[in-house]
Amino acid sequence: MKKIKLSLRFSPHLTEKPITYHLIKDYDLVINILNAEINFNKAGKLTVEMEGTEENIDKGLRYLEQQGVKYKIFTKTIIWEEDKCVHCGACTAVCPSRALKMDQKDWSLSFDKSKCLVCELCIQACPINAMDMDFFL
Interface residues with other proteins (CB under 8 A) are 86-90, 92-94, 101-102, 104, 106-108, 121, 124-125, 127-129
Nearer to other proteins, 50 or 118 (CB): 118
Reduced to 3 states, what is the DSSP secondary structure of residue 122? helix
For residue 34, the minimal CB distance to other proteins (Å) is 18
DSSP alpha helices (H): ranges in 18-115?
A: 19-27, 54-67
DSSP 8-state code for residue 128:
T
Alpha carbon distance 70, 119 (integer Å): 18
Alpha carbon distance 8, 131 (integer Å): 25
Query: In angstroms, how far is the first alpha carbon of the chain from the final one?
Result: 16
Nearer to other proteins, 43 or 102 (CB): 102
Nearer to other proteins, 24 or 102 (CB): 102
For residue 124, the minimal CB distance to other proteins (Å) is 4
Nearer to other proteins, 36 or 128 (CB): 128
For residue 110, the minimal CB distance to other proteins (Å) is 12
The pairing of beta strand 76-80 with beta strand 30-37: unpaired
For residue 120, the minimal CB distance to other proteins (Å) is 12
